[in-house]
Amino acid sequence: MKLVILPAVALSLALCGSVVSAHGSEKVYLCHQTDSETHAWVVQSVNANEVQSHEANGDFLFNGPTKSNGHPDNKLGPEWCANHQSGDVCPNIAGLQEVLPENMEFNSDKQCVVKPPTDTPPSDTPPVDTTPPVTTTTNNTVTVQATVPGFQGK
């Protein structure tokens, strides 16, 4: 039997990880959350005409790692699903972030990254005295008076 893939079907394969069986029925891989504590996510193959009802129940398209045959990687797939839950604004980091964490920002690739430190010192840092030291010269002796913040005494 010869398998023929039409251009429109080939495009849908590339975009959503679908496969076409030898009988011509289109299958789509979805991430499905279970009630299991040890296997919280599975990758399911469903008929393309069932996708909308699955998405209404929280499932979403699987675009994660695949094996050389194009099928989902059963070891890495569930982890990919857990890290790419629908509504996750930071899919590149573990867990579900529905809003951008306070200490993070988006980089140019739309990935969540830790904000760089600011150059502003903490508010409890005492001000630095920028007054230049006083220099006096007497009989070839130089005397320099300087103020050192926090230093008291002689």
Answer whether 0.85 is exceeded by the pTM. no
Averaged pLDDT score across all residues of the chain:
73
3-state secondary structure of 78: helix
Q: How many CB atoms lie within 10 A of CB 149?
A: 9
Please give the Cα distance from 98 to 88 (Å, whole number): 5
What pLDDT shows up at residue 137? 63
- Residue 40, token pair as written in the block: 């919280």
Contact 26, 47 (CB under 8 A): yes
Please give the Cα distance from 98 to 74 (Å, whole number): 26
Per-10-residue mean pLDDT of the chain, 154 residues long, equals 41 42 71 88 92 84 88 89 76 74 81 81 68 65 63 60
What pLDDT shows up at residue 95? 73
- Residue 46, token pair as written in the block: 């469903």
Q: Could you tell me which of 14, 62, 18 has the C-alpha nearest to residue 41?
A: 62
Please give the Cα distance from 72 to 79 (Å, whole number): 12
What pLDDT shows up at residue 151? 60
SS3 content of the chain, % helix, strand, coil (to 5): 15, 25, 60
Contact 49, 33 (CB under 8 A): no
Please give the Cα distance from 81 to 117 (Å, whole number): 32
